[in-house]
Structure 1
Amino acid sequence: MQQSNTYIIVFSAVLTIVLGLLLSGTSQVLGPMQQEAIALDKKKQILGAVVSAEEIDAMSPAQINEFYAKRISSTVVDINGNEISSVEAEKVEIAKDYKKPADKRQYPVFMFHAEGQPDAVESYIFPLYGAGLWDAIWGYLALETDMNTIAGITLAHAGETPGLGARITEGGVQERYIGKKIFDESGELVAVQMQKGEGKDYSGEEHKVDGMSGATITGTGVNNMLKAYLGHYETYIKSKSSSQAVAGL
């Protein structure tokens, strides 16, 4: 039997309302869980710059949250190194800020503290963000308290090629940065450059690391990202370096 136009319209309207309510309810239920998962992933990435992947993988979400709370403190600075006390570092959205001019962004800094010594900072962790071959790349770089030596780095990507640019997530690639320097002997920020090709020994080079075969553009993206974001943090880094030197006198 053919239904009237009025029946079809009413039925469609009711179905739309019911589906809308169901979607809204599902979103409200799952929303907090999704936010918790995002926050946990960010903590894992931050810790990944100073803690081995194996150690992090061995922790439960509750243990990660507890470890982070005990060992990490944070602040936010502007491009001139001035602290912004009204902003919580963990809530700064680096990807969204990346779209703003560099002098308008907020720059989180995370401090990794010695176990059982909340006043003793072991390293400073800085977020990174940039562009790879196909999509965004990002990460966290840790500096030792000399504010020059890389203590560790974690890198991630949104869509680099598996087996090529996507290798930036591999521990073996990231370990190449440990012990490298970001300033040269004159105090100029030169960062660390991933080289083209793979298989060469750069152990004697303070500002170079071996590259990834077939992933030159991704490697260039990582180089640009490091140089840019370390440049944004340079004033803060140098101020901390000076204060550390004074404290050591």
Structure 2
Amino acid sequence: MQQSNAYVITFSVILTVILGLLLSGTSEVLRPIQKKAEELDTKKQILGAVMQPSEIRNMKDEEIEAFYDSRIASKVVNIEGEEVEEDKDGTPVNAETVDVGKNYKRAPEDRLYPVFIYHEDGNEEEVIAYILPVYGNGLWDNIWGYLALQTDLSTIEGVTFSHAGETPGLGARITSSDVQSRFTGKTIYDEGGSLQSVSMQKGEGRDYSDDPHKVDGLSGATITAEGVNKMIRSYMSHYEAYLNRKKDEKEIALN
């Protein structure tokens, strides 16, 4: 039997409302699960800058949580290297909840800069490495990661990189352990103490083992590699005041 137009419209509206409510309800139910998964993934990326990928893969989620809690301390600093507990609007902050992507849209002097400190089990005084978030632009979308510095505050202990939409097999290779391992042992300061950073070179297949500031590039992904270079140099300059403060503290402690 053919229904009237009013009936069809009413039925469609009711169905749309019901489906909308179901989707909204499902989203609310899943939101805490999604948030926890995102937090766990972030912790894996942070730990990935100081641990081997195989070590993290072999750990259960609860083991990663426990390891993170016992080995990572954190703080938030400003571009002057000063530790802060509030954003400029008075909102309390901590390193784990700072959205580096949102902060990237601010002027550098207005951003919050998380610092993650990798230390001996249960002893925050025995620092092994400082892990610093980095954020920038690749070829198609944003790229980000974590760079760990040894206690000399110059030598790279390790890095992890992620991306939102780089080309598979090309720029997306920044997530591979092979590419990331190239940064280990490189230094961000030159012998005179000036920030030199570390740069991926154009092309791929060359040996830069004798150069502390150069890393083999990505064949066919020059723009992504340049994005990584700018990202690292930019954020290391933003963290430079904090790193200098830590160096001064070390000098005082030695004397």
> TM-score higher than 0.5 here?
yes
Residue 56, structure 1, aligned to residue 30, structure 2:
no
Superposition map of 1:112-131 within 5 A = 112-131=118-137
CA distance in 1 between partners of 2:155 and 2:96 (Å): 24
Residue 151, structure 1, aligned to residue 157, structure 2:
yes
Superposition map of 1:165-244 within 5 A = 165-244=171-250
Deviates more, 1:69-78 or 1:178-187: 178-187
CA distance in 2 between partners of 1:221 and 1:201 (Å): 21
Q: Which amino acid aligns with 1:193?
A: S
Residue 73 of structure 2 is matched in structure 1 by 73
Question: SS at 1:62's partner residue?
Answer: helix
Q: Which amino acid aligns with 1:178?
A: T
How far does residue 11 in structure 1 lie from its aligned partner after superposition? 1.9
How far does residue 116 in structure 1 lie from its aligned partner after superposition? 4.2
CA distance in 1 between partners of 2:182 and 2:7 (Å): 68
How far does residue 159 in structure 1 lie from its aligned partner after superposition? 1.6
Residue 24 of structure 2 is matched in structure 1 by 24
CA distance in 1 between partners of 2:176 and 2:83 (Å): 33
Residue 251 of structure 2 is matched in structure 1 by 245
Q: Structure 2 length normalisation: TM-score?
A: 0.94
CA distance in 2 between partners of 1:130 and 1:244 (Å): 31
Identity across the alignment (%): 57
How far does residue 213 in structure 1 lie from its aligned partner after superposition? 1.5
Q: Does the Cα contact within 8 Å between 1:129 and 1:225 map onto a contact in 2?
A: yes
Q: 1:13 to 1:215 in 2, by over 3 A?
A: closer
> Which structure 1 residue ranges, 5 or more long, are not aligned?
none
Per-residue CA deviation, residues 197-231 of structure 1 (Å, 9 max, x unaligned), is: 12222111111111122221111111000000111
Q: Does the Cα contact within 8 Å between 1:145 and 1:244 map onto a contact in 2?
A: no
CA distance in 2 between partners of 1:3 and 1:199 (Å): 70
Residue 160, structure 1, aligned to residue 166, structure 2:
yes
Residue 132 of structure 1 is matched in structure 2 by 138
How far does residue 115 in structure 1 lie from its aligned partner after superposition? 2.4
Q: Which amino acid aligns with 1:75?
A: K
Q: Does the Cα contact within 8 Å between 1:75 and 1:88 map onto a contact in 2?
A: yes
CA distance in 1 between partners of 2:203 and 2:251 (Å): 38
Question: SS at 2:220's partner residue?
Answer: coil
Question: SS at 2:157's partner residue?
Answer: strand
Q: Which amino acid aligns with 1:14?
A: I
Question: SS at 2:235's partner residue?
Answer: helix
CA distance in 1 between partners of 2:71 and 2:143 (Å): 26
**Deviation >4 Å, runs of 4+:** none
Residue 14 of structure 1 is matched in structure 2 by 14
Per-residue CA deviation, residues 4-30 of structure 1 (Å, 9 max, x unaligned), is: 344234323321221122112101111
Deviates more, 1:173-182 or 1:34-43: 173-182
CA distance in 2 between partners of 1:17 and 1:157 (Å): 36
CA RMSD of aligned residues (A): 1.3
Q: Which amino acid aligns with 1:3?
A: Q
Per-residue CA deviation, residues 37-92 of structure 1 (Å, 9 max, x unaligned), is: 10000000000000110000001111111110110111111111111123111111
Q: Does the Cα contact within 8 Å between 1:47 and 1:68 map onto a contact in 2?
A: yes
